[in-house]
Structure 1
Amino acid sequence: MMARPYCVALLLLAEVFGLGDGASNPGCVARITRKGLDYAHQYGVAALQTELSTIKLPDLSGSFEVGWIGSVSYEFTSLRIPSFKLQNSDLTLHPGQGVRASLSNTYVSVRGNWKVQKSFITLKGTFDLSVYRISISVSLKMNKDHYGRPTVSVAHCSNSIGHVSIDISGNLSWLLNLFHTRIESNIKNILNQEICKMVRKSTTSYLKPYLQTLPVTLMIDQVAGIDYSLVGSPQVTSQDLDLPFKGEFFGRSQHSPVPFDAPSIRLPQKHEHMIYFAVSDYVFNTASWVYYQAGYMNFIFRNENIPQDAPFHLDTKSFGAVIPQLARSYPNMELELEVSPESAPFLTISPRNVTLVPVMNIQAFVLLPNSFDRKTLFLLKARINISATINVSSYRIVGSLTPGSKLKLELKHSNVGSFNVELMEVILNFYTSKIIYPSINAKLKEGFPLPLPKDTFFNSLEIQICEVSEKWGLGGLLQGWIHQGALNSQLHHRPNFHRKLFFEFWCIMGEESSGGK
C-alpha cells in the first residue's frame, strides 16, 4: 500500500489498538484485509531481508593457548553478510492485542578473513560461516498523536539463533576448535543484538518519517482545505485493519465546525479483496457547506457571460418577448441575474444514483445607463433535480453534475408585472446548461485528493452505487464498489520493488436523507 515495501511491511506488522473512547465518526475509512496484509507482508519481508543483509559485523581478535605451541594471537576480519534468507514467515492478527509477524528457519551466511600469528609465523585464509534456525518475532505499536497523525514504535522484538557451522580454508582442526570455543558465541551475540537493532532502525529511519507523509490536512484551493486526521487509533480485528479518517472540509478563512455529524460507517463483512475503502456522504456535504458559507455557490450573470451565438442575451430586448413591460420601461438596457442557493445543497444517495435538489433564488436587475445604479425587476425561486457522478482518478476523487430535470421556477415578486414563467424557464434552463454546469464541472473535475502516502496512486478504478444491505448493518447507508482497481507504488530508491496492489472494493456511503441536524 505504501511506496516503499519495507515501510509497507512494518506498518502492516503494527500492533494496533481499538478506536479511542469518545472518538467521532470518521468521514472515510480504509480497511486492509488479511489478504492485503499478507500481500504487503511478502514484499515487506523481502525488503527487511535486504536491510538485514547490511548488518555490519565488527572484527574479532584475541589470543588463546594451543597445546605445546603456547599462546597464539588471532584475527577474524572483513566480516560481511552475503546472504540473509528470511523463511517461513507468518502474520497473525490478535483483536485487541495487535498484528504480529514471526519468521522461523531463517538462514544467514557470513564470510571473512582469518589470521593467526605465533612469533614470526603467520597463517591466514578465508572462512564461510552459516547460521541456521534463526527465529525472529516482531510487533509494532501504532497510534496517533494529538495532531491526528499516525505514529509507530517498536513494541516487541526478539530473536534466537540455533546451529552455527564454519568452513575454514586449510586443514587446521585446532583453528576450528578456536572458532567453536571462542568465536561462535561472539557471532551469535552480535547477531542477536543487531537483528532487533536493525528492525528498530528501519522503524525510526524509514517507517516513522514515511508515515508523516500521510496527509493530515490538504489545501484544496483559496477557499477550502480538507482534514484527514485520524479520529481514532487504527483498529485491528481478526481479519482486517481499519484506519478512520476525519474526512471533513473546512474553510481556510474561518475554520468553524459544520452543523451536522458524520454518519456511522460499518463496512460489509467481506474479506475476499485486499482493500476496502468507504467514503461517507459527510465528506461531500462538508465541502458543500464550506463553499456555501464562503459565498462560492453564488453566480452573477452579465451579458458578457453569454455566448455571442446564444439565442437569448441578457438585455431588455431579449427578455421583452417574455415580459413586454420590461422592454417598454427600460428600452435597450442590459440585465443582470444573481443566483444564490437558499441553503447548502446536500447529496442524497438512493439506490443506483446520487442526487442533489438545490433550491435557489434568482434576482433580476436592470443596469441603468450612464450610472452604476441598478433597479430590481423580479425575484424567482428555482428548483432543479441534479444527478451527480463520483469517480476516482489516480489519487483524487472527482465528480460531475448533469441535469436530472428541467429548472422549475416560481415567481416570488415582480416590479414589472406578471409574466409567463414557463417561457422564462426556457431561457434560464439554457443559461444553466451553457454556463452554470460547465463552470461547476470544471471545478469538480479538479476534485480533491485522497489520504494516500507519498508516491502512491490509483488506476483503473470503477465505482458503482448499489442497494442497501441490512445484513451488513448499514441501515440507511448505501454502498458501491470498485472493480479491477489497482494501486501503483512508485518506489523511491528501489525500482526493483515496483508492484501493483489491487484495490477491489470502493464504498460510497450516505444517509438516505442528508442534511443538518
Structure 2
Amino acid sequence: MFLWCVLVLVSLLSVATGTSAGVKARITQKGLEYGRAIGIESLQQKLRTIQLKDVSGTEKLAIGKVEYSITGMQIVNLGLPKSALRLVPGTGVMLSVGDAYISLRGNWRVKYSWIIKASGSFELAVSELAISTTIAVKSDVTGRPTVSVTKCEATVGSVKVRFHGGASWLYNLFDSFINKDLRNALQKQICPLVTASIAEMNKTLKTLNVLAKVDQYAELEYSMVESPVISNAMIDLGLKGEFFNIGQHEEPPFSPRPFLLPSQDTNMLYIGVSAFSINSAGFVYHRAGALRLYITDGMIPSGSLNRLNTKTFGKFIPQIAKMSPGLMMKLLVETVKEPIITLEPNNMTVQASSKVTAYAIQPNSILSPLFVLKLEASVSAHIYVTGLKLAGHVTLNKIDMSLAESYVGPFQVKSLEDIFTTVVKDVIIPKVNAGVKEGYPLPAIGKMQLVKSQLQVLKDYLLIGTDVKFTG
C-alpha cells in the first residue's frame, strides 16, 4: 500500500510532546527513508493496476469528421526510478516521483463515412511522468491515526505512439489526437488512484488495538493523546501509554512527568517509556489484588533447611512450637500499596511495601493466624526488548522486616531474616520473573519486526532505539 511503512510508523507508537503522554516516540530521517523505499515499491505495484478506460470521439480533419476509438489498453511496463520523501512541518509527509515511465499497448479504430474504415494496434511510451502528493497525518476521535491526501499533482511529459495495422497515411492524422487523449486520461487517473490508495490505509489503521489486553487483570491503552508533531527533520508522536484494570479505567493518583527524547538519529525509531507507564502497571495489579501470593512448604526448594512448619519457626519463636506443635504453615504475602518504580541512569529499582501473614494449618485445614510482618523489599530490574514486547528480570537487593501484629506474644523479628530471605529469593522472585518474562506488548501493526533494538535506562524513562522491518 502506498507509503505503507512511513505512515504505519507514524501511526504505531504515536507520541507527541503533550504532558499527558506516557510514551513518546520519534521517527527519524532514516526511518522515513526506509518508508520511502518500500512505499515506492508499493506505489509501483498500485500503478500497475491502472485500468485505462476506452477512449472514443470525433476529430475534425482536412478530409472531414473522423470517428475514432482506443480500446483494450494494458500497462506492460512501469518504472519509478527517482523519488524523494520530505516532511511538511505541521502537516505530514510529501512524496515526489520524477522521471517515471509507463509503456502500454492497445487497439485503435477509425471510421470516415463509408469510405475509410481501419483498425490496428498501438504501443505507447510515456516518459517524464511526475507525481507529487502531500499526506496529512492526524488522530481521530477514537485516538487512532488517520491519513488523508491534501494535495496531489501528476504531470505527463513525453508521449510517443507507434501504430500497427491500417494505412500508414492515417498514422500522422491519428497521432496528434491519440497523443492528447491518452495524456489526459493518464493524468486524470493517477491522482485519484493515489488518493484511493491512501484512503484504504485508514481501514487498516482503524484495526489498531487501542486497548491491548495484557492478561486477566490488565490492558494497555495505546490511544494517541494528540496529533503528531511534525518538523523538518522528524516526527514526534504521543500515546497515553497507560495500564488499566480491564473494563475499569480509573486514573492512578499520579501523572506523567514531562520528558524529552534525546537528539539521536542512528536508528529509524526511538521509543521513550516513562516511569509513569510502568508505575501505572503496579497500580493496576495492586488494585486488582493480583499482587498477593499464598506460599506453602511445597514451594520451598527441597534442599533448603528452612521449612514452612511450626518446628522450624519454633526454633526462633518458642511460643509457636508450644501452641501449635507439629503443624505445617502457610504464608500470605500481599502488597499494602502499589509498588514504586524508580528510573535513574543505568538503574531501575522497584520498592514494594507488603505484609506477610503467617498461619498454622490445623488438622481440619483451618488457618490459625500466628503473626503479621511488614515487609519492605527493594529489587533491581533488568529490562529488555524481545520481539514486540518489553520484558524483564528482577533480582533482590534487600528486605527490611518489622512486626505489625503477633498472636503468639512478642519475639525478635530479626531472627526470621534468613527464613524470609529464602522465601523472597526462592519463591517470590521466581514468580515475579515468570510474569515479567512474558513481557508487555508494544504497539504494532502488520508483519512488523524490531531490528537491532537497544534499551537504555535514563532519568524517569526507558529509551528504546530500534530499526524496523516489514516482512509483508
TM-score (norm 1): 0.84
Aligned to 1:30: 25
Are 2:273 and 2:461, in contact at CA under 8 Å, matched by a contact in 1? no
Cα deviation, residue 402, structure 1:
0.9
Aligned to 2:195: 200
Letter in 1 for 2:36: H
Sequence identity (%): 33
Q: 1:13 to 1:215 in 2, by over 3 A?
A: closer
Residue 384 of structure 2 is aligned with which of 387, 391, 401?
391
Gaps of 5+ in 1: 467-475, 492-517
Q: How does 1:350-389 map to 2 (within 5 A)?
A: 350-370=344-364, 372=366, 374-389=367-382
Aligned to 1:282: 276
Aligned to 1:343: 337
State the 4+ residue runs in structure 1 displaced beyond 6 angstroms: none
Letter in 1 for 2:4: C
Cα deviation, residue 65, structure 1:
6.1
Aligned to 2:470: 489
Are 2:139 and 2:146, in contact at CA under 8 Å, matched by a contact in 1? yes
1:315-356 C-alpha deviation (Å, 9 max, x unpaired): 111211111121112111222222122311111112221111
Residue 4 of structure 2 is aligned with which of 7, 25, 34?
7
Letter in 2 for 1:490: T
Structure-2 separation of matches of 1:160 and 1:241: 29
Are 1:5 and 1:40, in contact at CA under 8 Å, matched by a contact in 2? no
Aligned residue for 2:417, secondary structure, equals: helix
Structure-2 separation of matches of 1:370 and 1:11: 61
Aligned to 1:76: 70
Are 2:2 and 2:198, in contact at CA under 8 Å, matched by a contact in 1? no
Gaps of 5+ in 2: none
Q: 1:151 to 1:248 in 2, by over 3 A?
A: same
Letter in 2 for 1:458: L
Structure-1 separation of matches of 2:189 and 2:312: 84
Residue 397 of structure 2 is aligned with which of 392, 395, 404?
404
Letter in 2 for 1:399: G
Aligned to 1:239: 233
Aligned to 2:218: 224
Count of aligned pairs between the two proteins? 468
Structure-1 separation of matches of 2:424 and 2:214: 25
Are 1:13 and 1:140, in contact at CA under 8 Å, matched by a contact in 2? no
More strand by share: 2
Structure-2 separation of matches of 1:29 and 1:356: 22
Could you say what the CA RMSD is over the residues aligned between the two structures, in angstroms? 2.6
The question of 1:44 aligning with 2:36 is answered no
Aligned to 2:143: 148
Structure-2 separation of matches of 1:434 and 1:388: 17
Q: 1:394 to 1:323 in 2, by over 3 A?
A: same
Residue 441 of structure 1 is aligned with which of 411, 430, 433?
433
Are 1:128 and 1:167, in contact at CA under 8 Å, matched by a contact in 2? yes
Aligned to 2:155: 160
Cα deviation, residue 254, structure 1:
2.8
1:166-218 C-alpha deviation (Å, 9 max, x unpaired): 122367243232221x222221221121101111111122x112222332111
1:225-279 C-alpha deviation (Å, 9 max, x unpaired): 0100000111101101122111100001532111111111311122343211111
Structure-2 separation of matches of 1:324 and 1:5: 76
Are 1:66 and 1:174, in contact at CA under 8 Å, matched by a contact in 2? no
Aligned to 1:509: none
Larger displacement relative to structure 2 (384-393 or 264-273): 264-273
Cα deviation, residue 420, structure 1:
4.1
The question of 1:184 aligning with 2:176 is answered no
Larger displacement relative to structure 2 (247-256 or 297-306): 297-306
Structure-2 separation of matches of 1:316 and 1:426: 16
Q: 1:454 to 1:292 in 2, by over 3 A?
A: same
Q: 1:321 to 1:211 in 2, by over 3 A?
A: same
Structure-1 separation of matches of 2:260 and 2:10: 24
Q: 1:481 to 1:245 in 2, by over 3 A?
A: closer
Cα deviation, residue 479, structure 1:
5.2
Cα deviation, residue 307, structure 1:
4.3
The question of 1:139 aligning with 2:134 is answered yes
1:124-153 C-alpha deviation (Å, 9 max, x unpaired): 332221223322211122211121011122
The question of 1:312 aligning with 2:312 is answered no
TM-score (norm 2): 0.91
Structure-2 separation of matches of 1:125 and 1:174: 11
Cα deviation, residue 436, structure 1:
0.8
Q: 1:64 to 1:417 in 2, by over 3 A?
A: closer
